């Protein structure tokens, strides 16, 4: 079996180099602000070629993230950046907005598209729709079940990418609107304020039910499940972290490289300990949502930030000038530059970087800082300078064989070879017969073997020379020229299969269309949602049904009631549905022939268009522009509700705006009751009326039960 690709984050050049040097097979990065990490350093049209060339030199692929939703005014800049990435020979483009996918396909024929996890693909039906969008690889939602991964692998030709390490969003991918609607900082535009990481209190029926970081999930760490994922069809293991420091990237890539090359060892405790030091929220999620049912532990309500690993306690604290002298008893040797965090009875109290560190006897260390931890406070290591420096100090070199021909009367020549790629450089210097003190073979070899600050290391040399004189400077210059040619040849070889073209006429046409759509009339209908998730279209006799329990009998009762009220029943499908959920949905529709219209909020719903159902593309499809609307229509929608984050979709056909209180701020695949009570599914603790509160805001939590239970966070 081919080894899965190891894919690393590159928030900037430091992280890019760390990923390459520690063994990444590919990196993903952003250009400008059109990516889900707009606050990362990111890359620009001026340096993207430099980044791609560096990666390609080492055989590392580059995927450019354009995974945000977009408005018309941004399309010229988007196309300018995309053109720069295409010209730079980027290997693939990661997209969320189905309108952007369409634009990139038409403007850049031959482009390779990857479906962002923000596109929400998590089952076979959604994967097949992605294929219709021209997608080659799906980056599955973290909520995807193992059985669905297998189904996608067995029934499509799509590549499958899966997150194995790093932060986990509490909301279903692409379906979080809290930051956007409350603070105009959209997660779907790379500007999420991470309101989920704040403390919340829970209540049921007016009684307090718990508090803490109730929406803050632990990080993923699937290093012990790599073989399971690979056997199920995952072809790329992805590490999250474009906002993390280069040391994190280096250590994470190094750990996963070792695991992959070692044949996916079943135990990764040593690696896990290393990973904990670079980022750890107090508990790793080692199985994600892969297993059947609802996971028991997703949220860690005690911690929402990096806490590292425990190393000791504070032995004493006393004032020292305007700071404090702190003596720590530690099982881990402390050095200058380490990061440490202090914990008391009620959790984290302070943190600091170790400045001057004095090693005392008996595993004790004296450090100085502005913080004043309590005597007896627990001490955690949150950055290990020695380990990170070791990972960052790795420098990958490319082995080269060099042949030098120095025969009197002809130009000095150098041939450089790497893995069958050879280049020949003929110097302008005509080799002279030595009159005295000829250059020895050893002297020529010494000069030829120096690779300096290049990306190469000369492993073998062959010298063909006679009684000749050659200045060292001439040999050095010939060697440098040969290696420069070899570098260009290796990059060219790596880019042979990238066939993306630039269609200038389509680019200009698209920009003109965007301007036209922006000025087009915005006459829209109104979709009115009720707090329970049901709804209707103003001025129409359509009743949207959204039961708490998706069963044939429950849906039948709701449909019959709508018909009795002279309304056309429309079933709203849940945003998340794994394979077993879909079988239940299909059974429901089979037993309710009177339902001919479906409101969908995930790509999988378009699959029902081929079965004769009228499809309404809901807000969860994130239609923010008319390009996306046209794609939705092409996939089978006959009308659409634009994204709650948009006000700019030109009304071609029937377009509706969402109003009312039933918009889910988040859709959750974990169980809030398990977070609060620690129960299992067999000992279900569900009670109606659960709500979370933060400051003056309250959110009701509604359950949708199919085969699995899903929950929606709805603002009051």
Q: CATH number of the domain at 373, please.
A: 2.40.30
Specify the pLDDT at position 186: 78
Span 690-703, average pLDDT: 94
| Same domain membership, residue 135 and residue 71 | yes
Q: Within a domain: residue 504? A: no
Q: Within a domain: residue 713? A: no
pLDDT above 80 for 1: no
| Same domain membership, residue 405 and residue 388 | no
| Same domain membership, residue 566 and residue 661 | yes
Q: What is the pLDDT of residues 296-309, one digit of tens each?
A: 889 999 999 999 99
pLDDT above 70 for 647: no
Specify the pLDDT at position 266: 65
Strands of 521-642, DSSP E: 525-529, 535-537, 542-545, 568-572, 597-600, 614-617, 637-641
Specify the pLDDT at position 653: 62
CATH of the domain at 40: 3.20.20.70
| Same domain membership, residue 345 and residue 439 | no
pLDDT band for position 41 (cuts 50, 70, 90): confident
- Residues in contact with 322: Cβ distance below 8 Å, sequence separation at least 6, in sequence order: none
Q: Within a domain: residue 292? A: no
| Same domain membership, residue 336 and residue 351 | yes
- Asked whether the beta carbons of 518 and 646 are under 8 A apart, the reply is no
pLDDT above 70 for 232: yes
Tell which residue, 62, 59, 4, 88, has the closest CA to residue 399: 59
Span 399-404, average pLDDT: 96
Residue 169, Ramachandran bin (φ over 0: left; ψ between -120 and 50: alpha; else beta): beta
- Asked whether the beta carbons of 115 and 100 are under 8 A apart, the reply is no
Q: Within a domain: residue 690? A: no
pLDDT above 70 for 652: no
Specify the pLDDT at position 410: 94
Q: Within a domain: residue 484? A: yes
d(CA 509, CA 424): 45
| DSSP letters for 149-199 | HHHHHHH---EEEEEEEE---SBPTT---HHHHHHS--GGGT----GGGS-
Give the position of tokens 């000038």.
321
| Same domain membership, residue 419 and residue 355 | no
Specify the pLDDT at position 188: 80
pLDDT above 80 for 279: yes
CATH of the domain at 644: 3.80.30
Q: Within a domain: residue 212? A: no
pTM for the whole structure: 0.95
Average pLDDT of the chain is 94
Specify the pLDDT at position 191: 82
Least confident of 31-45, 187-201, 456-470, 489-503: 31-45
Specify the pLDDT at position 342: 97
CA distances from 399 to 323, 475, 485, 597 (A): 51, 19, 15, 62
Please state the domain count of the chain.
Answer: 4
| Same domain membership, residue 140 and residue 90 | yes
Angle between helices 626-634 and 504-519 (to 10 degrees): 100
| Same domain membership, residue 271 and residue 402 | no
- Asked whether the beta carbons of 6 and 257 are under 8 A apart, the reply is yes
| Same domain membership, residue 410 and residue 360 | no
Q: Which of 647, 666, 685 is where one domain is finished?
A: 666
pLDDT band for position 36 (cuts 50, 70, 90): low
pLDDT above 80 for 38: no
CA distances from 117 to 98, 172, 287 (A): 13, 9, 18
Tell me the percentage of the chain whose pLDDT exceeds 70. 99
Query: Which has more confidence, 183 or 455?
Result: 455
Query: Structural domain of residue 617, as residue ranges?
Result: 520-666
| Same domain membership, residue 139 and residue 71 | yes
Q: Which of 342, 363, 392 is where one domain is finished?
A: 392
Which H or E run includes 145? none
The rounded Cα 469 to chain-centroid distance in angstroms is 58
| Same domain membership, residue 89 and residue 36 | yes
- Asked whether the beta carbons of 186 and 676 are under 8 A apart, the reply is no
Q: What is the pLDDT of residues 479-488, one digit of tens each?
A: 999 999 999 9
Tell me the percentage of the chain whose pLDDT exceeds 90. 83
Q: Which of 392, 407, 424 is where one domain is finished?
A: 392
Tell which residue, 684, 604, 579, has the closest CA to residue 292: 579
Q: Within a domain: residue 429? A: yes
Q: What is the pLDDT of residues 508-527, one digit of tens each?
A: 999 999 999 988 887 888 99
Q: Within a domain: residue 679? A: no
Span 30-34, average pLDDT: 84
| Same domain membership, residue 116 and residue 253 | yes
Specify the pLDDT at position 546: 97
Question: Which residue stretches of 520-624 are H helix?
Answer: 552-564, 579-590
* The token pair that represents 7 in the structure block: 């894919």
Of how many residues is the chain composed? 716
Span 404-429, average pLDDT: 94
Tell which residue, 404, 484, 392, 417, has the closest CA to residue 444: 404
The rounded Cα 614 to chain-centroid distance in angstroms is 33
């Amino acid at each position: 079996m081919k080894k899965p690709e190891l894919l690393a984050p590159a928030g900037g050049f430091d992280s890019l180099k760390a990923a390459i040097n520690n063994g990444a097979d590919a990196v993903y990065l952003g250009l400008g602000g059109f990516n889900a990490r707009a606050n990362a350093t990111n890359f620009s049209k001026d340096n993207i070629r430099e980044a791609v060339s560096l990666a390609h030199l080492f055989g590392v692929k580059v995927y450019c993230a354009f995974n945000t939703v977009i408005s018309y005014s941004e399309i010229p800049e988007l196309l300018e950046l995309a053109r720069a990435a295409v010209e730079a020979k980027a290997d693939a483009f990661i997209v969320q907005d189905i309108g952007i996918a369409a634009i990139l396909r038409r403007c850049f024929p031959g482009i390779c598209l990857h479906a962002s996890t923000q596109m929400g693909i998590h089952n076979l039906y959604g994967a097949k729709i992605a294929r219709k969008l021209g997608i080659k690889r799906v980056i599955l939602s973290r909520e995807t079940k193992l059985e669905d991964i297998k189904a996608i692998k067995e029934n499509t030709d799509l590549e499958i990418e899966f997150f194995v390490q790093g932060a986990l969003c509490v909301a279903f991918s692409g379906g979080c609107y809290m930051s956007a609607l409350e603070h105009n900082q959209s997660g779907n535009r790379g500007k999420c304020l991470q309101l989920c990481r704040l403390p919340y209190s829970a209540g049921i029926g007016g009684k307090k039910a718990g508090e803490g970081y109730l929406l803050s999930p632990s990080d993923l760490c699937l290093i012990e499940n790599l073989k399971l994922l690979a056997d199920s069809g995952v072809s790329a293991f992805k590490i999250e972290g474009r906002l993390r420091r280069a040391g994190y990237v280096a250590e994470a890539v190094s750990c996963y490289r070792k695991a992959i090359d070692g044949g996916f060892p079943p135990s990764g405790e040593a690696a896990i300990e290393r990973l904990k030091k670079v980022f750890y929220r107090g508990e790793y999620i080692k199985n994600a949502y892969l297993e059947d049912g609802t996971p028991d532990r997703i949220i860690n309500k005690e911690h929402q930030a990096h806490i590292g690993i425990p190393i000791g306690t504070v032995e004493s604290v006393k004032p020292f000038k305007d700071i404090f002298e702190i003596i720590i008893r530690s099982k881990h040797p402390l050095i200058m530059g380490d990061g440490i965090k202090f914990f008391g009875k009620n959790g984290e109290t302070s943190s600091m970087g170790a400045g001057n560190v004095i090693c005392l006897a008996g595993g004790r260390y004296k450090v100085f800082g502005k913080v004043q931890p309590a005597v007896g406070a627990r001490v955690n290591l949150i950055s290990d300078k020695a380990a990170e420096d070791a990972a960052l100090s790795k420098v990958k070199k490319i082995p080269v064989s060099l042949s030098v021909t120095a025969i009197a009367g002809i130009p000095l020549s150098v041939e450089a070879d790497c893995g069958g790629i050879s280049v020949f450089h003929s110097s302008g210097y005509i080799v002279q017969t030595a009159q005295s003190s000829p250059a020895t073979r050893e002297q020529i070899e010494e000069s030829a073997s120096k690779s300096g600050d290049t990306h190469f290391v000369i492993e073998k040399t062959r010298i063909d020379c006679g009684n000749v004189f050659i200045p060292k400077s001439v040999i050095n210059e010939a060697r440098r020229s040969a290696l420069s040619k070899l570098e260009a040849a290796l990059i060219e070889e790596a880019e042979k299969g990238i066939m993306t073209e630039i269609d200038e006429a389509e680019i200009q046409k698209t920009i003109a269309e965007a301007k036209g759509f922006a000025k087009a009339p915005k006459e829209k209908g109104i979709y009115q949602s009720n707090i329970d998730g049901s709804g209707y279209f103003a001025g129409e006799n359509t009743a949207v049904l959204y039961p708490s329990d998706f069963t044939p009998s429950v849906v039948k009762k709701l449909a019959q009631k709508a018909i009795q009220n002279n309304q056309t029943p429309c079933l709203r499908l849940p945003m998340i549905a794994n394979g077993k959920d879909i079988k239940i949905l299909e059974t429901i529709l089979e037993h309710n022939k009177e339902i001919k219209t479906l409101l969908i909020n995930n790509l999988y719903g378009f699959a029902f268009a081929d079965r004769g159902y009228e499809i309404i593309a809901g807000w969860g499809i994130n239609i923010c522009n008319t390009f996306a609307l046209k794609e939705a229509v092409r996939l089978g929608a006959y009308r659409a509700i634009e994204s709650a984050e948009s006000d700019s979709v030109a009304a071609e056909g029937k377009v509706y705006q969402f109003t009312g209180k039933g918009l889910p701020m988040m859709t959750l695949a974990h169980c809030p009751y398990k977070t609060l009570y620690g129960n299992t599914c067999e000992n279900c603790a569900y009670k109606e009326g659960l709500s979370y509160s933060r400051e003056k805001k309250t959110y009701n939590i509604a359950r949708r039960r199919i085969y699995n239970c899903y929950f929606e966070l709805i603002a009051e």
